[in-house]
Chain A
């Protein structure tokens, strides 16, 4: 993932270094090199992309048309679109699609809202600001496995700390593994914990590119801090917010490690209650060894993400056109 801060249109133009004056008569070898060299420079990326991006993508599409089992990968049996129709006829596919969506909402919304608030606080002048800014990134630096395993302990039904705390205030123990909503909240909590700080830092960067004059003007007009946040900060952050929404959406669609490690169940709980699409694919491919079906799921997920990103881009383009027309 690359972290590109949105460019401010009003930013200072950079002076590009002037290229050295070309020699009068370059030799033929040199001329060819000049023509070829750009390709040579970009070649490593495209070679790697072809080997680890494009080829798997196409090969997965090819495999998804066959019945292939991990134990006997040599016997491929043509199924046409059979894997896809079987997929759409499988109740658990729809369950996992729904779970992916609900867990996505349960984790993305609180995460972004909290990140926004956190960024706002971190934007104030205060003691130890740099330390705090670094500290919020720590959860992001923790591995998914370590974080989830700790949370799984906290969310334990019989001996978990959270149920113990709930017991102190008189709430009955919650079955964080088997309850549908409860388990999805547990999974979302891990996601929120890991990603809030990361998003807060992105928002913070966005906030700092909002010119101070706007705040001064608003203050002069008598706007409270709260109104400044709503009428200056939020509009100024729009491109940043869009970026984080897209990235979080993609992340939520691919969610895998957290639900897998909550109980170590590849079915996402005994009733598939928190099985996401990623986990469903894993179950079919590496739990049941149906590689063809898993490939079909991978492609469906891929198309789903393309559609989601497309919708996002459409909205973004409409918005920027509207702004340009202003």
Chain B
């Protein structure tokens, strides 16, 4: 026993010493990172993104590294934007752990511009003003702070279309021609009717669409005013357009048209190759994601048609440089290059993210994608981008949208009464904003 006790004492002492050492190290250790990796003209630029920006897949980082010897780009990526935003906010509040380049979703850009302008670099410092004419005016304006700061450069926009599986359509006896389909589902009611036809003859374990949440999201993307009006007042509860999108989603749930999957969940990912759904509302940036999940085996089985009910926009992003970044100048040079019309063009041709730079939009008008049965994606998305309404953005757009799609999932998966789900959504929104 005395031996054990002596050993214990030694361990405790050792523990105390280690702890003290760790504390000292923690106090002095935070400053030497930057000096070590910029030594000898070598710079590592870190890029932190969400979802599918597609830069790496399109080979843009490799190209930039070749153009700028000594520069290495390291990318980290979170699939679900909600998770990404959470951790970004935590790191911004702590002022540490931030990458040199951070992606910002358009649903969050109002929060950045109105609440957090002091946490991101004003890119005017580096001459961003000269880039203004490259971008669609609305895209540029949304990332401008109250004092005129330029807080981010626009990457893509999210013109909407409908992606579908031609092989599954064929099996269910539906037409597969994209023009014919566009006529049949000119309205959302037409889309749901076609869904019911599909369901009657569908292959086993295959639903019409992935989730009613995505149906809601694509429909609300067709509206100019969604959650806030132009004066910044919350109007979502009274907004008839929102209610109409909600009602259609409820109808789809009632008719059993959905595969009941959570977007961005592992099960949803698996479903792309398993053929669990025949259609998925797709903003342009979804094309790259579909390709990634469906893989080579999916090539030629997918197609893109015009969206029911007119043009809309869902998502699109910005690249920003936080104040706490280590290599701000280099980061700016990188995002300037990545968002330039030439690179946006490449990105669309390879990945499908639709350009926000006006110069690039013209260049991609003829683009076709072999993966999607040679669909004229340049034309489909280009027209959608031209006709889509310029949306009113608000600080809590993304949070409110999340609560609503969550409530719709209750209707879809648990059979919750729509009115009860609506009141749950209201409670959720109050909780979020409150």
In angstroms, how far is the closest chain A Cβ from the Cβ of B44?
27
A178 near B413 with CB under 8 A, answer yes
Partner of B414, one of A86, A271, A289: A271
Q: Interface on chain B toward A: helix, strand, loop, or mixed SS?
A: helix
Interface 9-residue window, one of A69-77, A213-221, A227-235, A303-311: A69-77
In the bound assembly, the distance between CA atoms of A286 and B86 in angstroms comes to 6
B431 near A289 with CB under 8 A, answer no
In the bound assembly, the distance between CA atoms of A289 and B424 in angstroms comes to 20
Residues of B within 8 A of A53 (CB): none
A265-302 with Cβ < 8 A to chain B: 266-267, 270-271, 284, 286-290
Measured CB to CB, the nearest residue on chain B to A152 is B266
A131-149 with Cβ < 8 A to chain B: none
Q: How many A-B residue pairs have CB under 8 A?
A: 69
Contact A156 B267, CB 8 Å, known A264-B83, A271-B416: yes
In angstroms, how far is the closest chain A Cβ from the Cβ of B126?
25
Contact A158 B86, CB 8 Å, known A178-B413, A263-B262: no
Cβ-based interface call for B40 (8 A): no
Interface 9-residue window, one of B30-38, B137-145, B268-276: B268-276
Residues of A within 8 A of B276 (CB): 158
Q: Which of B2, B16, B86, B399 has the most CB of A within 10 A?
A: B86
A270 near B431 with CB under 8 A, answer no
Residues of B within 8 A of A284 (CB): 431
Task: Categorize the interface residue count of chain B.
Answer: 35 or more
Number of interface residues of A (CB under 8 A): 33
In the bound assembly, the distance between CA atoms of A79 and B189 in angstroms comes to 49
Cβ-based interface call for B239 (8 A): no
In the bound assembly, the distance between CA atoms of A123 and B111 in angstroms comes to 61
Cβ-based interface call for B147 (8 A): no
Cβ-based interface call for A153 (8 A): yes
In angstroms, how far is the closest chain A Cβ from the Cβ of B40?
38
Contact A92 B431, CB 8 Å, known A158-B270, A270-B414: yes
B270 near A90 with CB under 8 A, answer no
A71 near B116 with CB under 8 A, answer yes
Residues of B within 8 A of A158 (CB): 205, 267, 270-271, 274, 276
Contact A178 B270, CB 8 Å, known A44-B19, A48-B19, A264-B83: no
Partner of A270, one of B89, B406, B432: B406
* Selected A-B contacts with CB under 8 Å, 28 pairs: A17-B2, A44-B16, A44-B19, A48-B19, A70-B93, A71-B93, A71-B115, A71-B116, A72-B115, A73-B93, A86-B434, A90-B431, A156-B266, A156-B267, A157-B267, A158-B271, A158-B274, A159-B270, A178-B414, A264-B80, A264-B83, A270-B406, A270-B407, A270-B410, A271-B424, A286-B86, A288-B432, A289-B89
